[in-house]
């Protein structure tokens, strides 16, 4: 499976070119950071459950983890869509078809 990098924008808010290596690296860092924050939130949920934390607090933290993971997933699928639309021929054998992209998107919905 090829690495999928979410879309990003420069500080002025302009969308970057999907094939731009610097933009891809920056977008990948953002997704990785989001996933690391989600992991930290999940660790807090586990600790709260183990220590008998309040139900409201545990569920609130769990909802935050779920939301962070969903957003990371949507960013990844969005990048794959951008790459596919920008240059469908460049996707090659490792690329995703529109049907596969749709299935991935619906898995997150």
Rounded to an integer, what distance in angstroms lies between the CA atom of residue 66 and that of residue 51?
21
Rounded to an integer, what distance in angstroms lies between the CA atom of residue 23 and that of residue 29?
10
Q: Flag whether the pTM goes above 0.75.
A: no
- The predicted structure's pLDDT at residue 98: 78
- Residue 98, H or E segment: helix 98-108
Going along the chain from its start, the domains and CATH numbers come out as 21-108 (1.20.58.1000)
Q: Are 92 and 16 in contact (CB under 8 A)?
A: no
What are the pLDDT digits (tens) for 39-98?
999 999 999 999 999 999 999 999 999 999 998 988 888 887 777 777 666 656 666 777
Give the alpha-carbon dihedral of 95, 34, 105, 96, to 10 degrees: 0
């Amino acid at each position: 499976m090829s690495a999928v990098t979410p879309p990003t924008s420069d500080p002025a808010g302009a969308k970057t070119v999907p094939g731009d290596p610097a933009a891809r690296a920056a977008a990948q860092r953002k997704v990785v950071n989001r996933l690391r924050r989600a992991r930290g939130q999940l660790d807090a949920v586990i600790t709260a459950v183990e220590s008998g934390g309040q139900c409201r607090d545990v569920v609130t933290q769990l909802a935050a983890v779920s939301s962070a993971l969903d957003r990371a997933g949507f960013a990844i699928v969005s990048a794959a869509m951008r790459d596919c639309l920008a240059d469908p021929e460049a996707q090659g054998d490792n690329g995703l078809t529109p049907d596969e992209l749709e299935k991935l998107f619906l898995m997150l919905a």
